[in-house]
Chains A and B, each alone.
Chain A
């Protein structure tokens, strides 16, 4: 079953606007990670937030985690055309080997110049 699910599935904004993507998951986690994937390319790690953290920043990225609601959000401020990509959240597998990640289906972000 799906552990992480991103919302919305697709998002289209103008350059300079902020983009917010959400991720919900079902079971308890130890950490949650966000990745970016440009079309036809590999994944780039963006940020990891631990279960005891509520918010984390990295440049124009801001990630929040609400373990009571089992949800996380990724905010990209002042978006650029180069931010166009798919964004995935990934959680560690509950009861698993603590190695594998469970990915959602992703949010496809399109930033128009």
Chain B
């Protein structure tokens, strides 16, 4: 059973371009979470999705950021008009369900560098 997969692993974008980060959850997992990690920091929650639904986007910046988890295919985190401050590692996690006692399994992350 493959783990959570993210691609690309490294992404370089110039200021103003768009970044698209993909996450394929573990087989059988229908819940996806996106987190951002700045250097020397812990992970910060961004958004929680189920198939075709956004459950909690309280950690998402109001502008330029969007996320989706379509019925078919991977979850996508999209950052429009990137700025230098968007440079970070973006991690996706998945779980088989939500609720109080669910472990989240993390992917290897996408390291975004904005030049």
Contact = CB atoms under 8 A, between A and B. Distances in A.
Contacts, number: 72
Contacts of A100: 33, 45, 48, 56, 58-59
Contacts of B12: none
Given A48-B101, A92-B100, A103-B42, A42 B109 contact: yes
A88 interface: yes
B55 A97 contact: yes
B45 A48 contact: no
B59 A103 contact: no
A31 B108 contact: no
A30 B42 contact: no
Contact of A106 (B42, B59, B98): B42
B47 to A, nearest CB: 8
Interface of A: 4, 30-31, 33, 35, 40-45, 48, 50, 88, 90, 92-93, 96-106
Interface of B: 4, 31, 33, 35, 40-45, 48, 55-56, 58-59, 91, 93, 95, 98-101, 103-109, 111
